[in-house]
Structure 1
Amino acid sequence: MKNWITRLMGSADSQAAAADVAAHPDAGAPDAPPDAAQADELYYRWLLGPAGFDAPAETELLILEQVRSLAQNPAVAAELVPRVPELIPKLLRSLRDESVTTGELSRQVAEDVVLVADVLREANSAYYRPITPIKTLDAAIMLLGQNGLRMLLARVAFRPVIRMQDAGFARRAAPLVWNHSEKCAVAASLMAPGLTADIFESCLAGLMQDVGLIVAFRLADRVCQNGKVPKSAAFGAELLARSRALSAVIATHWDFPNDVADAIALAGDPGGSSLAQAVAQGDHIAKLRILIDAGMLSEDDPLVAEGLNSFQRRCLGKLSNLEE
């Protein structure tokens, strides 16, 4: 992955973002989600499901120490996750070229039948809500626009990074974590304009922040060797925090923009950047969406009804029909 994100970063669709903020003046709540710890605890419990067990304290400490140690060896950590498909950087380079036509983009996308399906599904999703179904690739690309296509390609690029083939609990958790990653990326990009954060950087940070968690679950599998993971709430909170730090270290090693890596490391920190706040809010909203869909929270739970402002609740609604 290394340099392609840095080279291919471009400006977000600022005019559309500004219009959205003007229409929703409460979109930029600057504080970290006040109930993030409670949501994290419920999310960790959901993520483990029946695979959680009462582990000895020394087992918990060993896993956490291995995650911390790996964060000090970013080259080793980065080797534990695969690289992105070659087609994605090619397409992103084309998106930086203003002279490239929709037809040319369509021909490049058409090289990958899975990517074609992704683009059509995205254009027909609840996020865009087309009046009539989008059936052609050209129409889908026109609807998504440059920024929408860039964010979709970023999600496609990260899919094999998160959903890698593995064994043990990491294999079971991978699609669940990827579900959160996609939702977090979309939610963070929606929250970005009101926080004056870059939309595409928010999307990237949202996708990247779970990479460390998958690596952490792989380490836990090696330590526990029973397909299970310690279930204590204190361990879960610490594992989520340390894996986020690991994600930031890997992002730096892959030459992500410093702002993106810092936002992952400082998400939820009241003193963090606007990008960090966008990631924190996107992460929180994504977890609430997952917990509601899993039946662990109701739409009128105080975490939702009182913990989110009106714009954040609209964002929560936009996540309801995203493909997992």
Structure 2
Amino acid sequence: MYQWLRRLFSGPARAGASALALPAARSASAKPAVATPPAMPFDQLDLVNRLYHHWMFDIEGESEFDTNAQEVQVLDALAAILNSQQSGSALVRRMPGMIPQLLQSLRRDNFSGAQLARTISSDVVLVATVIRAANSSLNGNGAISSVDHAVMLIGQEGLRHLITSVAFRPIIDLNSGHFTRTLAPRIWDHSERCAQANRALAEALGIDPFEAFLAGLVQHVGLIVSLRIMDQMAKGDKHLGSEMFCAGLVRDARILTCSIGREWNFPASVVNAIGEQAGMQKGAIVSPLGRLLTLTDYMGKVRILVENQRAPFGDPALFGGLPPSAAEAYRSLRAIDAVGLAAPGDAGAAS
């Protein structure tokens, strides 16, 4: 999977290419990677994770601490998958069949916008995504309802980026269970924000921007797979979300993500960075990409909490003790909210 993406996005740069292109590998002048401690205090991580999980599971006030019977069943089922020989990637819904065809078309300089629009029009998810992205770029100045118009507005490089994200985006069946239907869109929204912020910050930190983008995008694939287990085991009971359950679920889901990443031949640095989030402990040494992933995951959750009135903006308990790059990470996340497909160079302009 990774090599397939690399081949699609490799090749000589073209004059006038949009800043939305998936970034190339790190330049020779990039800073060498050095292992460093985690990006922020653990008590802040715990606080934000708890508030975020309350929002995810629609819990008002304090949650239960210990797991209930349904939660134990979910965690046991997830552990059984991790301990079995079952393919993790087999649990992930396959990308729509036309995605590789679209990306191959976009790789050509002389691609046909009209043909591309016809191909996109055959998939309702792609239609909605492309039109939404085009309208977001207008910042409220008019509206676009035509796929042809949207394709021309977004451009070749913007479509590359957008369709790559769609390739990994979970397809949410309206007939799926409560947890998949309600939580998967929230989880994926957070993942896309992290991917964009990672890409914006990576090069200055000496990290391969493509790998940073990929790590942010796929970090919660295992968690989205786990939602189907929750739907099966809960049998209509929506009372999930205790602190112990969330801790175990997120940890094991990240381990499942690592298994899937290895099957898809993702770079070891990406798999390692995601795995570091699962096994993070005080005093642990974290890779530069793992440190960036911790930061953008945290800031993305803070941004979502602020947006949904689950936390006040500027709360010292959320923003104190953060590294200097935290402010830029937050600005990147805000820019993504504002224009949907913000280019890295535009991130700092957001207030």
TM score, norm. by length of structure 1: 0.77
Change in Cα spacing, 1:230 to 1:130, as seen in structure 2 (3 Å) is closer
How far apart are 1:112 and its partner, in Å? 0.9
SS at match of 2:338: coil
Q: Counterpart in 2 of 1:265?
A: 275
- Give me the whole-angstrom Cα distance separating, in 2, the residues matched to 1:174 and 1:204: 18
- Give me the whole-angstrom Cα distance separating, in 2, the residues matched to 1:131 and 1:223: 43
Q: Counterpart in 1 of 2:338?
A: 321
Read off the aligned partner of 1:298 and give its amino acid letter: P
How far apart are 1:179 and its partner, in Å? 2.0
Q: How does 1:77-226 map to 2 (within 5 A)?
A: 77-95=88-106, 97=107, 100-101=109-110, 103-104=111-112, 107-113=115-121, 114=124, 115=126, 118-123=129-134, 125=136, 136-137=149-150, 139-142=152-155, 146=157, 148-161=158-171, 166-226=176-236
Indicate the structure with greater helix content: 1
Q: Is the 8 A contact 1:286 1:319 kept in 2?
A: no
Change in Cα spacing, 1:116 to 1:66, as seen in structure 2 (3 Å) is closer
How far apart are 1:209 and its partner, in Å? 1.6
- Give me the whole-angstrom Cα distance separating, in 1, the residues matched to 2:225 and 2:193: 20
Change in Cα spacing, 1:247 to 1:229, as seen in structure 2 (3 Å) is farther
SS at match of 1:8: helix
Q: Is the 8 A contact 2:89 2:263 kept in 1?
A: yes
- The one-character-per-residue Cα deviations of 1:127-168 (angstroms, maximum 9, x if unpaired) are x678977964465344xx63x443311221222356785213
Q: Is the 8 A contact 2:203 2:209 kept in 1?
A: yes
Q: How does 1:13-28 map to 2 (within 5 A)?
A: 13=23
- Give me the whole-angstrom Cα distance separating, in 1, the residues matched to 2:198 and 2:174: 24
Equivalent residue in structure 1 for 2:75, among 33, 43, 64? 64
- Give me the whole-angstrom Cα distance separating, in 1, the residues matched to 2:40 and 2:201: 12
Q: Is the 8 A contact 2:197 2:332 kept in 1?
A: yes
Q: Is the 8 A contact 1:188 1:206 kept in 2?
A: yes
Q: Is the 8 A contact 2:67 2:244 kept in 1?
A: no
- The one-character-per-residue Cα deviations of 1:154-199 (angstroms, maximum 9, x if unpaired) are 2212223567852132322222222222222222222322222222
- Give me the whole-angstrom Cα distance separating, in 2, the residues matched to 1:105 and 1:159: 23
Read off the aligned partner of 1:111 and give its amino acid letter: T
Q: Counterpart in 1 of 2:328?
A: 311
Read off the aligned partner of 1:8 and give its amino acid letter: L
- Give me the whole-angstrom Cα distance separating, in 1, the residues matched to 2:8 and 2:242: 41
Change in Cα spacing, 1:191 to 1:73, as seen in structure 2 (3 Å) is farther
Change in Cα spacing, 1:262 to 1:140, as seen in structure 2 (3 Å) is farther
Change in Cα spacing, 1:223 to 1:287, as seen in structure 2 (3 Å) is same
Read off the aligned partner of 1:176 and give its amino acid letter: R
Structure 2 residues without counterparts, runs of 5 or longer? 12-21, 31-35, 341-351
Q: Is the 8 A contact 1:54 1:230 kept in 2?
A: no
Equivalent pairs, count: 305
Q: Counterpart in 2 of 1:290?
A: 304
- Give me the whole-angstrom Cα distance separating, in 1, the residues matched to 2:118 and 2:206: 35
2:42 matched to 1:32? no
Q: Is the 8 A contact 1:110 1:116 kept in 2?
A: no
Q: Is the 8 A contact 1:263 1:276 kept in 2?
A: yes
Change in Cα spacing, 1:33 to 1:56, as seen in structure 2 (3 Å) is closer
How far apart are 1:272 and its partner, in Å? 3.4
Q: Is the 8 A contact 2:198 2:292 kept in 1?
A: yes
Equivalent residue in structure 2 for 1:43, among 48, 52, 57? 52
Equivalent residue in structure 1 for 2:316, among 285, 302, 305? 302
- Give me the whole-angstrom Cα distance separating, in 2, the residues matched to 1:54 and 1:233: 5
Q: Counterpart in 2 of 1:26?
A: none
- Give me the whole-angstrom Cα distance separating, in 2, the residues matched to 1:314 and 1:240: 26
How far apart are 1:284 and its partner, in Å? 1.5
- Give me the whole-angstrom Cα distance separating, in 2, the residues matched to 1:5 and 1:91: 12
SS at match of 1:192: helix
Q: Is the 8 A contact 2:130 2:150 kept in 1?
A: yes
Q: Once superposed, what is the RMSD of the aligned Cα atoms?
A: 3.7
